[in-house]
Amino acid sequence: MTGPQSLPALRLGTRASQLARTQSGHVAARLTELTGREVELVTISTEGDRSSAPLDQIGGTGVFVAALREALVADQVDFAVHSLKDLPTADDPRLVLAAVPPREDVRDALVARDGLTLGELPVGSTIGTGSPRRAAQINALGLGVEIVPIRGNVDTRLGKVRSGEVDAVVLARAGLLRLERADEATEVLDPIQVLPAPGQGALAVECRADRPDLITLLAVLDDVDTRAAVTAERTLLATLEAGCSAPVGALAEVAWGDDGDELWLRAVVADPSGNPSIRLSATGVPTDAAALGHRLATEMLAEGADQIMAPVA
């Protein structure tokens, strides 16, 4: 072969966590497989990794993304891979979402002591999660369990079950699968009960807007159905004017309907203080995913979603 081998390796910016490095490694390997271009991982440390303070005190999940974006803008890396659910909904005009690769399992998973499921956890059991979305949806099931705020990477959170600090934790199944630890889950939570975060299980491949060469190259990683789904979920989140740490769950899926592909969107705004949640769904077409997200969010706002999300003092 000629050509590709003589080009310099592309620099992929990634967070330092094991999960981030693993998923970035998969993206790098796939890009090399499809284009012949070599890719090297460049680790960027973020505030979210350095601090163990609650996310809402250090700027929300956006802290995971900010340092990678700065490295892109400063031309220290050619492109970056993020967990899509950590990406703020506001666009950065200097950057482009060049690809959304095929999505991993979207669902949340329970990892409980002694192989227990949610329904088997005795009243008074503790479930560790720092996510208001997970806390509110689990509380809504009325199981009499107690939510304990915890943070940390996947390994740290799993360790809190093993050490007995909590009876269970809830995490994204995608993270467990990528780390080859999915067998530690004791129950996969059905989205009928617990809807995942908008963008959960998906990755975002981002590069500078002034790099048309890269935008074209990275497009080979894009998956049309995943992009449509996350566009609907994220437009819903943006229209609700909710942040990444708001108690909002959303899941869009492409399905074959009578008139071709349909996009089905389900969403919940759950109330952490225990009041009834708002749970609605709508269908549209994948080619107009943003319109679907906007329409469902507008319906949820009409039902009082903004009241539920109003910051509690």
Residues acting as catalytic residues: 86
Instruction: Compute the chain's Rg from CA coordinates.
Output: 20
Nearest residue to 250 via CA among 288, 196, 181, 187 = 196
- Phi, psi (5° rounding) for residue 128? -90, 125
Determine the Cα–Cα distance for residues 8 and 40; give it in Å rounded to an integer: 10
In whole angstroms, how close is the CB of 245 to ligand PBG at the nearest point?
A: 9
Determine the Cα–Cα distance for residues 233 and 66; give it in Å rounded to an integer: 21
Task: Give the one residue of 137, 139, 186, 200 binding ligand PBG; rule: CB under 6 A.
Answer: 200
Residue 201 within binding range of ligand PBG, rule CB under 6 A: yes
Select 129 or 282, whichever has its Cβ closest to ligand PBG: 129
In whole angstroms, how close is the CB of 85 to ligand PBG at the nearest point?
A: 5
The answer to whether 252 and 233 are in contact (CB under 8 A) is: yes
Nearest residue to 250 via CA among 293, 309, 212 = 293
* Total residues binding ligand PBG (CB under 6 A): 10
Site residues for ligand PBG, 160-179, by CB under 6 A, read 171-172, 174-175
Binding mask 81-120 for ligand PBG (x = CB under 6 A): --x-xx----------------------------------
Give the DSSP letter of residue 154: H
Binding mask 133-162 for ligand PBG (x = CB under 6 A): ------------------------------
Residue 44 within binding range of ligand PBG, rule CB under 6 A: no
Determine the Cα–Cα distance for residues 175 and 169; give it in Å rounded to an integer: 13
Give the DSSP letter of residue 275: P
Applying CB under 6 A, which residues contact ligand PBG?
61, 83, 85-86, 171-172, 174-175, 200-201
